[in-house]
Structure 1
Amino acid sequence: MDPADIGRRVLRLRTERGLTQRQVAEPAYTAAYVSTLESGKVRPSEAALRHLAGRLGVDYGELLTGRPARLATDLRLRLTDARRALATGAPEDAAALFRTLHEEAVAHGLAEEQATALQGLGDCLLESGELTDARDCFAAVEGLLADQPLPRRVPAIRGRATAHLLTGELRYSCYLLESTLDELNAAGLHDPDALLLLYTASIAPYMDMGAHARAAHAAELALALAPSVSDPALVAHMHRGVARTLIAEGRTAEADTSLAKAQELYRHLHIRTELAHCHWMRGYVSAQDGDLERAESELRTARDMLASKRAALFTGQVEVELADVLRRRGKAEEAEALLRPLLTSGEATGALGAERGAVHAGGAHRLLGLIAEERGDTEGAEEHYCAALSLLERSSAAGDVADLCRLLGDLLRRTGRVEAAMDAYRTGLGHRAAPGTTTLGPAPATPPM
């Protein structure tokens, strides 16, 4: 509360209304007091400010801060509209709204609204695949909320961890989530929403790293927390995450049921990207069950929904899954035509690589290697397998690395390079010996339920 700023506001408002200092001051104060206040030489009490606000016909908060009375409320309503635009439309359109609202919040010094706008912008950038900028947004949110309780910062931490996951930095994604869980539990901050968000977010990097037991434990904790959470979007996300652990355990019917629950919640909430993710995962479940026709249908639905929202990175990732199903259905040429544009260099729409969807980029190279091998092009197959291995080893995707080493080893053995094949097998065995334990520390503490 700067006395000079308040004085200038009182002077401006009094002049605009054509009032004298005496008219503003009476009956509780003197004209001399108002003169001293307008010159910034005195810090007014709350009682004085409320009196002056009443005489000047403005809200007390507006006189104190210079902000219109309904500014913060209006900004929050527009932030809700921007979030709705992200749920139903293209991420870049919603990003433009969040940027405008952030600028307004900065201009008026509204830190909470700045943080909300940046959180929304980060989510838009995640969806469009601009992962570095997304990380920067989430880090800025954490800075703005540094003096807030840790649960308030959890959505930003989860966003940053997700950006690292999509980049292929699985180990660091786990570190961010686990260290936050430990900090929450150590401080006794057992906020159900925050804990559910973190445990659900940790399932994907655990699974990609081969730490299946830890993923299953996180899923169990998430399920136990769900009854304490009222946000349906959080519950839906939990069901989607838990489904992945059920798939890994071969419990595909239960996984499909879990995804159906998530799908219904997302449909009710009109969150199209997450609804597309449910179709994506149901396609994967069908593929695991051998129902390739249904798998192709679900994956095409997911791909079309994501493409219509211009969610380029997720669209590319679904196309890798779809290509796998197409190859298994004997449509190798169509699968190859789908995959090759995804591995173009530069910033092409949907392009995948070491810094953008590394795990799926490795999957694309693996599929192209299989297609090449099936048509007798062993040299091309080896080239793709080696490219995939480089991407997946850098990401610490243990299970995928082991599978790839088996494929590469088999190829090398068939072409007479037995020693090279043995090296490939050893590499794969090294990654599968103790999934996840060589890259992760102790599991986070379990919160009291």
Structure 2
Amino acid sequence: MGRRVHRLRAALGLTQRQLAEPAYTAAYISTLEAGRVQPSEKALRHLAERLGSSYEELATGRPAHLATGLRLRLTEAQRVLATQDPARAAERYAELAREAGRHGLDQERATALVGLGQCALETGELDAAREHFEAAEAVLTGLGVPLPRRVPAIRGRALAHLLAGELRYACYLVENALDELNASGLHDPDALVLLYTAAIGPYMDLGAHARAAQAAELALALAPRVSDPALVARMHRGVARTLIAEGRAAEADASLAKAAAYYQQLQIGAELALCHWMRGYVRAQDGDLERAEAELRTARDMLTARRATLYTHQVGVELAGVLHRRGKDTEAQALLGELLGGLSPERGSVHAGGAHRLLGLIAQRRGDTESAEEHYVRALALLEHAGAAGDLADICRLLGDLLRRAGRTEAALDAYRTGLGHRAAPGTTTLGPPPASPPL
């Protein structure tokens, strides 16, 4: 600080006495510039005014308005991520993270790290995404930042684990944060809606439909208190999944239409693509396969344009399922063959299992029972790795039926028993008590 004062004074051609007067003495300035005294806030503000600087710049050495400028550029990076290529957004976030780190602006650095994590999620780099979110959470925790402001990083971690097939750990992260928020009275509506909607996906994949429905109801009840329209749109997209599970296709479609309207208004391309994905899923569940195919192709094209590879592969599996149901097995099989190279137990295991399930159905339709069994067994291993109870029960039924028709009764019984074990009390065999609910 003494060196900064000396440098600025010399640049202005001021003597120590001219700088000190009228409140201080030249001797005090000399002692300060030599680093032998720590000035008070009052003294620093006096010196900043005389030197034409700011209190923050004199105290920390940071350029004036640096933090404000960084926050503006972070907002622009978020806009790029929402409307353009995640790779371009990642370049901006990386630059901002380095700059914030150089100047000790830890909160801005954490925001940039969360942005890098979001970019990595879109491009399917799950290990990198998890590292960025963990680093952001560690920075914010070290600063003593309240939990509601750490929720985006926690939600990002949970999503990275979900996409990697680690469903139970994703639930643990979300539920732990929900319990801490509600138990401590930190009933921040934005944070709660973000967490409840993040919980719906892993709950559904685990077969915990009742718990997913409860999370959706709580998110809907909190929605009127949320100020961020993008968050409301994300909530409507998540809620639609529970409505689908309950057979309420029309309501699910209406919820997704609301989400699409929000995202179209906000020009958030990735989220709009995910809305088309979910609408395609709703159409497929409702038997409207032609419109389902159109929605899923739209979603896939949008995600491909954004180079969101993992999401593109996942939508491709859904599209292949619709093609199979429409009798287009050759096209479905070719599509699945392209997709499986980008899916693995550690990267989209639930959809990798779904791809093998579809290939098994296609093989079974053409009478190739050996190939069908091979795909069903691969699907079973992938879904067991993820703990996706509902899908596991379905694949066990398909495998059991195939084995029974081949006369392998004991093997069929083993497959059925495995499926029944996963369907027993859905949502209770792998999860603990549900998280506390906020006062509404």
TM-score of the pair, normalised by structure 2: 0.98
Identity level (%)? 74
Which of residues 244, 249, 267 in structure 1 aligns to 2:241?
Answer: 244
SS of residue in 1 equivalent to 2:185: coil
Query: Is residue 197 of structure 2 the alignment partner of residue 184 of structure 1?
Result: no
Aligned to 2:258: 261
| More divergent stretch after superposition (23-32 vs 48-57) | 23-32
Runs of 4+ displaced beyond 4 Å: none
Aligned to 1:280: 277
Tell me the distance in 1 between the aligned counterparts of 2:31 and 2:250.
77
Which of residues 124, 133, 136 in structure 2 aligns to 1:138?
Answer: 133
Tell me the distance in 1 between the aligned counterparts of 2:275 and 2:424.
32
What residue ranges of structure 2 are gaps of 5+ in the alignment? none
Which of residues 360, 365, 375 in structure 2 aligns to 1:384?
Answer: 375
SS of residue in 1 equivalent to 2:335: helix
Check whether the contact 2:162–2:202 (CA below 8 A) recurs between aligned residues: yes
What is the CA RMSD across the aligned residues, in angstroms?
0.9
Per-residue deviation, 1:27: 2.4
| More divergent stretch after superposition (375-384 vs 395-404) | 375-384
Which of residues 217, 221, 224 in structure 2 aligns to 1:220?
Answer: 217
Tell me the distance in 1 between the aligned counterparts of 2:290 and 2:46.
74
Check whether the contact 2:206–2:387 (CA below 8 A) recurs between aligned residues: yes
Which of residues 97, 115, 119 in structure 2 aligns to 1:120?
Answer: 115
Per-residue deviation, 1:335: 0.6
Aligned to 1:156: 153
Alignment of 1:41-440 (within 5 A): 41-146=36-141, 147-344=144-341, 351-440=342-431
Which residue identity does 1:335 align to in structure 2?
A: A
| More divergent stretch after superposition (146-155 vs 306-315) | 146-155
Q: Deviations over 1:108-148 (max 9, x none)?
A: 00011011101111111111111111111111111111111
SS of residue in 2 equivalent to 1:68: coil
Check whether the contact 2:210–2:427 (CA below 8 A) recurs between aligned residues: no
Per-residue deviation, 1:12: 1.4
| More divergent stretch after superposition (309-318 vs 6-15) | 6-15
Tell me the distance in 2 between the aligned counterparts of 1:84 and 1:435.
40
Which residue identity does 1:180 align to in structure 2?
A: A
Tell me the distance in 1 between the aligned counterparts of 2:231 and 2:336.
33
TM-score of the pair, normalised by structure 1: 0.96
| More divergent stretch after superposition (27-36 vs 72-81) | 27-36
The number of aligned residues is: 438
Check whether the contact 2:181–2:187 (CA below 8 A) recurs between aligned residues: yes
SS of residue in 2 equivalent to 1:145: helix
Query: Is residue 11 of structure 2 the alignment partner of residue 20 of structure 1?
Result: no
Per-residue deviation, 1:20: 2.1
SS of residue in 2 equivalent to 1:140: helix
